[in-house]
Every structure is written in C-alpha cells, then in structure tokens.
Structure 1
C-alpha cells in the first residue's frame, strides 16, 4: 500500500503524503513519492499539488528510524539517498509542482517545499525552515543554495547558521513562501494557481520554466550534496547528542 494518496482534479493531480501523524520521511514514504511523481505526468497530469498533513506538512526525516540504524553507515547512506531522490524527483518533475503546506515544514519538509515551483503555507502559528543546526546537522551546500535562491544569500546565511524557523508571516515577507491562505484553503488555492498557470501557451511556459529551474536541479547534484561526508558527520558526538535531546523534548 502506497504512502502517497493520489487524487485527480482534471489536469491537476494531488499527491498527499499519508504517513501520520507528521509525515516523517522514512525510506518507504520517499520511495513512494518518487514513484508517484514519475507516474502522475504519465497519467496526464499537467500540474501537481504536493499536500501534507493537517498542522504538519512534513516533520522532516524520520529521526527515530535513522537513530535505530546505529553505526550502520551503509543503511544510513541508503536512507539519505532515497530522501534526496525524492527531492530530485520534485526538482526534475516535467510539470509544475505546488507545495500546499497546511502546517509546519521543518528541515526535510522545507527541502521538499524548496524543490517545488510555488509554496503556499497556512496562515497561522506555523513555521518553515532549515533548522538543521538546532538538531546537530549540517545542511549540505546544495540545500543551502536552494534556500539562498529564494531568500537571497545574506538572509539565507543568517537563517541557516541559526537554524531559524520563520513563522508564516515572516516566511512570506522574506519570500520563503509565496502565499498565505486559511488552513482549510491551502490545497484548493494550490490547484487554482496551477489551473491559472496552465492557461498559458503550454510549450513556452514549460520551456521557460525548465530554463529558470536549472539551478534547482544543479543544487541537488551529487557533488553539492556529498552524501558520504554528510553521513559520516551523522556519527559526530555533537550531532548524536543534539538529536537525542530533540527526541527527549518531544517525548520519543
């Protein structure tokens, strides 16, 4: 059974992350997302809405699962590899994708959103950002580039070093998200945005999009993620202590 629920709205297909309670990104969910992103255009999708859960779009990588792998570097590398495969599938998707976030999007959830064409966040007490330093991780250079692409290099530096998570209004002000709407309207507004975009002449829109998004794909190149180095850092005492402290705070 897939962890992605697909709903067809004419030319727009909705892909919903379906791993409650917080859509933690384990290998199965990431692999199912890759498959769904490949299948939707083949089934006639000319636009895709990526939807998460209520209150939490995705809480990021499944840290308890990753910690359960212990010192198994090969297993850790496989888990992170499939996550970045999902990010690349979004970045390389041949049709526009809107992130419809009816809740928080920290860390890996924010990465998925940054790989989309457009980001809509629920207006309210919701936060989005790359909080890696807060939990003992180093955001790879390519991921940092994705953030700098939308908020500018200086602001990205401030956010990344602090592991900051701007609230909805701040995220809109700095361009990290494109729109805020009522939590109940996030997915609907995403479909409307896509339907309006799809009224444009199709080939020129897609070709222009492809040129404009080359840097998104380039940011996710293997050499800019450097997964072996990232996975090696996973075992650093500072990282392990911060991750376990985070789990203790949330009662895991």
Structure 2
C-alpha cells in the first residue's frame, strides 16, 4: 500500500499521509511525500491539499525508529534530511498548498503545516505546536522562525520555550491556524479555499505568492537548520533520557 494516497479533484490534488496508525514521519514516508508533491505539480495540479489521518494529522518524527539507529549519526542525518526535504518540497511548491488537519499536529506534523499556505484544523480538543522542549529537543532556528512568521516573535518564544501545544480554539486565536471546521469537513474546506484562490488570474497570484513566501523557503535553508549540529544534540544525555521517557509514557 502506498504511504501517500492521491485523489484528484480537477486541478486540486489531495495528498493524504497513509502510514497507520499516526503517520509517524520515517524516511520512507518523508521521501514519498517529497515525491508526491513533485509528481502532483508535474501532472497538472494547480493546488494541493495535504491531509492526514483522523484524530492525528501526523504525530511527527518516528522517534522509535530514530532511537533504533543508536549512535549511527550518518543514519540519523539521512533520516532528518528526508524530513527536511519533505518540508522544503511543501514550502517551495510552485502551487498553493493547504494543510487539512483532522486531528493533532505536534512537532514534525506542525512543521509540515507551517510550510503550507493555509492551515485548517478540526474544531475540538485537537492540539498543534512545536513541543520539542517537552521531549528534550531544540527546534532549529529556521523552524523557530517559521512559527514566529505565523504567530509573532514574542508569542513564538513563549510557545517554543514551554513546548506548548495549544488546542484548536487558541491556535486559531493566535494565528497558528487559519480556520477551524468540523472534523469531517476539513479536507472539503481545504479544497473550497483553494478553488476560490484559483479563480484569480494565475500569473499574478502565483508571482505574488512566490515573492511573499520567499521567507518560508529561507527558513529551511541549510544554514538556518544546521542539521549537523541538530543531530549532534540528539545524542545529548538529557535528550535521550527525555525521548525514552516519552516512549515509556506512550507505551503505558
């Protein structure tokens, strides 16, 4: 079974993460997403909906897989590269992308959403955010800048340092998401938003978007992610302890 399920609605292509149960982002899923974004554009997509599973859009990086790599920093580097390549594919996509989140979007799931043009979240007790400090990680400067672009610098600082994950209503209030809707209507609303946008003259809309979103692409530059440093900090003792404690809690 494909890790990305693709459905076409005219010129709008829906890409649905399909790695049960929670769309944990391992290299295979990340590589499949990168390929699917490029494939959609090359096959005539004028807009893309990025969807996930019910109740969980994506639980973020596949931590059990990453921990299974031990101290193999080359393998860790390749795994994280696959994730950031997927994020860059969304950020640099030449057509607009909407994140349709019918559930929680922590950490890596939130990063993917921040790379999209527009974010729709299911109304209810669903959370989104960068909870890295809660699990012993430091979000790279570029990822912090992505969050600040959405919610402002001061609010981003407060969220990042605490590793906070606001629920849907608060996420809408602070600008982390653009719209809330019923959980069953998230993908439908995403398509509707795109269809309205696509009624505009194509060249002016796309060129204006390209200029406006240059900062998103810059946030994901190698210098601002500094992946070598990030992977090195992954091996810090308190990071490893926090990650393993998180897995123990999940396993209960």
Name the residue aligned to 1:30: 30
Segments of 4+ moved more than 4 angstroms: none
Q: Which residue of 2 aligns with 1:47?
A: 47
Which position in structure 2 is the counterpart of 1:238?
A: 238
Partner SS for 1:250: helix
TM-superposed deviation, 1:2:
2.8
The structural deviation recorded for 1:33 is 0.3
**1:219 matched residue in structure 2:** 219
Q: Distance in 1 between matches of 2:42 and 2:107?
A: 30
Provide structure 2 residue ranges, at least 5 long, that are not aligned to the other structure. Answer: none
Q: In structure 2, what is the equivalent of residue 17 of structure 1?
A: 17
Q: How many angstroms apart in 1 are the aligned matches of 2:45 and 2:135?
A: 37
Which runs of structure 2 are paired with 1:1-252 in the superposition (5 Å)?
1-251=1-251
Cα deviation code 1:45-91 (max 9, x no counterpart): 00000000000000000000000000000000000001000000000
TM-score when normalising by structure 1: 0.99
In structure 1, the gaps of 5 or more residues are none
CA positional deviation for 1:41: 1.1
Partner SS state of residue 105, structure 1: strand
Q: In angstroms, what is the RMSD of aligned CA positions?
A: 0.6
SS of the residue 2:133 aligns to: helix
3-state DSSP class of the match of 1:159?
helix
How far apart in 1 are the matches of 2:19 and 2:224? 29
Write the distance in 2 (CA, Å) between the matches of 1:111 and 1:41.
21
Offset from partner CA, 1:217-245 (integer Å, 9 cap, x none): 00000000000000000010110000000
Counterpart Cα distance in 1 of 2:18 and 2:55 = 13
